């Protein structure tokens, strides 16, 4: 647990970083890049991290996006969802892959053998704070792998599920391993 002194020191460091003036400073990274870093669907490259730390204006924008995202997640009357991500865990690679869950616990991907392939079923947790809104609006969602390929895309049914046939030749566990072991569930813009 942080002491009051540690918190005060962190706030002072933040003010010094954000308040410094750099001649010719401008936004060095797009909002989409910053938001992807915040939700964990994409890691900043070394050059992007350098650009972020060298630009107080970009740092302030990153902080603002972080605060907005945090406020959206905490607002009880405004259940906004911008995406969820997850990883294939090492334990899942030892046996056939049955399911994957997002880090926030809001989504689960199930893999059911079907003939020579698999059926993929995306399930929304009834406990997800944004579940009522997505179910009411019959939200369109997609699952992408770590390489950006679409694994599944469709509208949620009344039970909060969406399914399709596995679209790749390689088995699910091996496929996710080939693309960084990551995946994301995201809303599809209307």
* Residue 93 or 71, more confident: 71
Q: What angle do CA 6, 9, 11 make, to 5 degrees?
A: 110
| Residue 96 in this model has a pLDDT that exceeds 60 | yes
**pLDDT (tens digit, 9 = 90+) per residue, 55-89?**
888 877 887 887 777 665 544 444 678 888 888 76
Give the pLDDT band of residue 14 (cuts 50, 70, 90).
low
Mean pLDDT of 88-92: 59
* Residue 14 or 51, more confident: 51
CA distances for 158 relative to 97, 101, 121, 138, 155, angstroms = 26, 20, 14, 8, 10
Mean pLDDT of 97-102: 88
* Residue 114 or 36, more confident: 114
Mean pLDDT (the chain, rounded): 81
**pLDDT (tens digit, 9 = 90+) per residue, 107-131?**
999 999 988 889 999 999 998 988 8
pLDDT confidence of residue 76: 42
pLDDT confidence of residue 185: 93
């Amino acid at each position: 647990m942080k002491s009051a002194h540690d918190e005060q020191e962190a706030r002072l460091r933040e003010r010094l970083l954000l308040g410094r003036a750099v001649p010719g400073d401008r936004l060095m990274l797009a909002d989409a890049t910053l938001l992807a870093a915040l939700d964990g669907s994409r890691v900043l490259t070394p050059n992007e991290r350098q650009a972020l730390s060298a630009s107080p204006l970009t740092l302030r924008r990153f902080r603002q996006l972080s605060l907005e995202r945090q406020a959206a997640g905490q607002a009880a009357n405004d259940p906004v969802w911008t995406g969820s991500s997850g990883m294939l865990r090492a334990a899942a690679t030892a046996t056939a892959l049955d399911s994957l869950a997002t880090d926030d616990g809001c989504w689960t991907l199930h893999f059911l053998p079907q003939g020579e392939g698999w059926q993929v079923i995306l399930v929304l947790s009834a406990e997800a704070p944004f579940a009522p809104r997505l179910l009411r609006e019959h939200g369109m969602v997609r699952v992408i792998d770590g390489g950006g390929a679409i694994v599944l895309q469709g509208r949620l049914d009344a039970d909060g599920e969406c399914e399709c046939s596995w679209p790749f030749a390689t088995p699910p566990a091996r496929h996710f391993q080939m693309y960084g072991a990551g995946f994301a569930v995201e809303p599809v813009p209307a």
